[in-house]
Structure 1
Amino acid sequence: MDTKTTTKETAFLTEENSVRTVNARMGSKISPRMKLVMSAVVKHLHMLTKEIEPTHEEWQQAIGFLTAVGHKCTDWRQEFILLSDVLGVSMLVEVINSRRPAGATENTVLGPFYVPEAPRYQNGTNICLDGKGEPLVVKGRVTDLEGNPIPGALVDVWQTNNDGLYDVQQKDIQPDWNLRGVFTAEEDGTYWYRSTKPRYYPIPDDGPVGQLLGQLDRHPNRAAHIHFIVSAPGYEPVITHIFPDDCRYLNEDTVFGVRESLIAHFKEVDTPNEAEKFGLKNLGQFKPFYFVNWDFVLTPSAK
């Protein structure tokens, strides 16, 4: 027992002194950050417990729920991330940790389906390997806050297919690396690639997090989006999405990931003349497609 912090008033836990008693048990060798974090965790957990006054049965149900969340986790599915997402915590952490100057691209949640080391492609490559969905061209620039291009910036992209599933969710159905790829910005900061127009989709709701959403009378749908990680030496990386402005779930994304600055207009292109403007003349016979122009603005690294 640490006699430096434990006193007669905190030797035994009561309803009134519970926070002080638990936090007084921390030893003197604890780091300042750990002490701050755990003191706050204990404080708010005890405040919650006193506010709702759970029965023994309810407390066991809560423990059972967290146990089920852990059991649902696999190498490619992180149910705890889903839980953090639907409670808005993942997005709040992003907002807190990505305060940037006006004009810089804003962050949003990474999500549980990012896979590192996706194939590197030349600009203009089509990453839709299963041929499903409405064709899409994504084109834009990577610049700094003054509008100067950042040549060599990496644009790492991924999204679901037209069935609303990521390739890792359908290992024996979708081609490996379907709708994933890394592109390099040209000397003028330009990047572009071909894909498929994103659609809304439900998060995996066959586990305890899905059951929780049902009990809360909430739907599991994410607003349609494309994921991006944009990075360059000397700049803060951006983890973000873009969202089509015609998606019905923009105002009720189940993980609270939509930011107004990330809503994009996906233009329908239905004439060969317009296709030629986008540099698509060499793609063969014309087919209608969607086009979105999206620039990323990076800020200098703090280090």
Structure 2
Amino acid sequence: MTEYFTETGSVEAVTARVSPQADARLAEVMASLVKHLHAFVKDVTLTEAEWEIAIDFLTRTGQMCSDTRQEFILLSDVLGVSMLVDAVNNRKPAGSTPSTVFGPFHVDGVPEREMGANISLDGVGEPCLFQGRVVDLDGHPIAGATVDVWSDNADGFYDVQQPDTQPQHNNRGVFRTGDDGRYWFTGIKPVSYPIPDDGPVGQMLGQLGRHPYRPAHMHFLISAPGFARLITHTFVAGDSYLESDAVFGVKAPLIVNFVATEDAESAVRWRADYDFVLPPT
């Protein structure tokens, strides 16, 4: 029997059109999407003018995207969707290092550096030694783990945001642990920064009375054969935005005390110690 579209039967009318030959997972996801989207429209009694504003917002969000900027990722982040997707896909055993959002500023193809190298290519910022170990759930070191790191510069911008002023791969590096599982490198103490807020997502935050800031953090992507890949940050303890991160990425175990070094002759002014615990795949 043909399902004609009615307000009360809107979901059934749409889902009935899906072919039995369609991919089962796609059909399942789309049926749920239609169900919740239609329920939302009915719940708020969405007006035609509001729907036109929504279409315009999504259009401008797409137009803002480029090779170095992903406005839809920002939208997902500030709505908490990125963290929710991360949570349901990274349910790990107790003792594992928590994951958090990937963010839009990771770069593939960063050259592997010698352990201990300085990733601050412009030399601007407060030098910080990052060190620790990559271990399994029993505390045994993981050799051959790839430690991919990146952070903003002293002004709160990533190199891809300032290709004309920052050196390529500034504050980025890839390292590989030895038999002791240790990693160490010099970067800068990260600073808090606003996510790009000159586009539709920033305008939405402003209208909601929300700020666009992220607390200071260093990104880590750690992988090793036989272990679950880890995407996470370490956050600077005491940062004023820890409890109001624009993208909801902060987790208490990831907050790290950045300790001021006592050696006046050392070029390093801060030290951040953190061990990463990977569960098996």
Q: TM-score, normalised by structure 1?
A: 0.91
1:71 alignment counterpart: 63
2:23 alignment counterpart: 31
1:213 alignment counterpart: 205
2:240 alignment counterpart: 248
Q: How many residues align?
A: 281
Tell me the secondary structure at the aligned position of residue 26 of structure 1: coil
Q: In structure 2, how many angstroms separate the alpha carbons of the residues matched to 1:270 and 1:252?
A: 32
Which entry has the higher C-alpha Rg, 1 or 2? 1
Are 2:256 and 1:292 aligned? Answer: no
Tell me the secondary structure at the aligned position of residue 94 of structure 2: coil
Are 2:77 and 1:85 aligned? Answer: yes
Tell me the secondary structure at the aligned position of residue 212 of structure 1: helix
Amino acid aligned to 1:178 = N
Tell me the secondary structure at the aligned position of residue 57 of structure 1: helix
Are 2:170 and 1:170 aligned? Answer: no
Q: In structure 2, how many angstroms separate the alpha carbons of the residues matched to 1:54 and 1:231?
A: 45
Q: In structure 1, how many angstroms separate the alpha carbons of the residues matched to 2:128 and 2:268?
A: 9
State whether residues 134 and 141 of structure 2, in contact with CA within 8 Å, keep that contact through their aligned partners in structure 1. yes
1:276 alignment counterpart: none
Amino acid aligned to 1:91 = M
Q: In structure 1, how many angstroms separate the alpha carbons of the residues matched to 2:276 and 2:263?
A: 28
2:143 alignment counterpart: 151
State whether residues 270 and 287 of structure 1, in contact with CA within 8 Å, keep that contact through their aligned partners in structure 2. no
1:114 alignment counterpart: 106
Segments of structure 1 that go 5 or more residues without pairing to the other structure are: 1-6, 273-284
1:45 alignment counterpart: 37
Are 2:167 and 1:187 aligned? Answer: no
Q: Which runs of 4+ in 1 moved over 6 A?
A: none
Structure 1 position 76, deviation (Å): 0.9
Are 2:3 and 1:20 aligned? Answer: no
Amino acid aligned to 2:95 = G
- CA-based RMSD of the aligned residues comes to 1.0
1:117-132 aligned within 5 A: 117-132=109-124
Q: In structure 1, how many angstroms separate the alpha carbons of the residues matched to 2:59 and 2:76?
A: 15
Which one of the candidate residues 54, 65, 73 is aligned to 1:62? 54
State whether residues 128 and 268 of structure 2, in contact with CA within 8 Å, keep that contact through their aligned partners in structure 1. no
Cα distance per residue 1:178-220 (max 9 Å; x no partner): 0000011121111100000011000000000000000110000
Segments of structure 2 that go 5 or more residues without pairing to the other structure are: none
Q: In structure 1, how many angstroms separate the alpha carbons of the residues matched to 2:263 and 2:30?
A: 61
Which one of the candidate residues 197, 217, 237 is aligned to 1:225? 217
Q: In structure 2, how many angstroms separate the alpha carbons of the residues matched to 1:177 and 1:256?
A: 26
Q: In structure 1, how many angstroms separate the alpha carbons of the residues matched to 2:55 and 2:268?
A: 53
State whether residues 127 and 186 of structure 2, in contact with CA within 8 Å, keep that contact through their aligned partners in structure 1. yes
Tell me the secondary structure at the aligned position of residue 192 of structure 1: strand
Structure 1 position 52, deviation (Å): 1.1
Tell me the secondary structure at the aligned position of residue 54 of structure 2: helix
Tell me the secondary structure at the aligned position of residue 46 of structure 2: coil
1:264 alignment counterpart: 256
Q: In structure 2, how many angstroms separate the alpha carbons of the residues matched to 1:288 and 1:27?
A: 63
Structure 1 position 234, deviation (Å): 1.0
Structure 1 position 54, deviation (Å): 1.7
State whether residues 151 and 190 of structure 2, in contact with CA within 8 Å, keep that contact through their aligned partners in structure 1. yes
Could you tell which deviates more after superposition, 286-295 or 105-114?
Answer: 286-295
Report % sequence identity.
53
Cα distance per residue 1:135-176 (max 9 Å; x no partner): 100000001000111111110000000100000000010011
Q: In structure 1, how many angstroms separate the alpha carbons of the residues matched to 2:222 and 2:184?
A: 13
Tell me the secondary structure at the aligned position of residue 183 of structure 2: strand
Could you tell which deviates more after superposition, 87-96 or 25-34?
Answer: 25-34
Q: In structure 1, how many angstroms separate the alpha carbons of the residues matched to 2:73 and 2:93?
A: 28
Q: In structure 2, how many angstroms separate the alpha carbons of the residues matched to 1:287 and 1:105?
A: 30
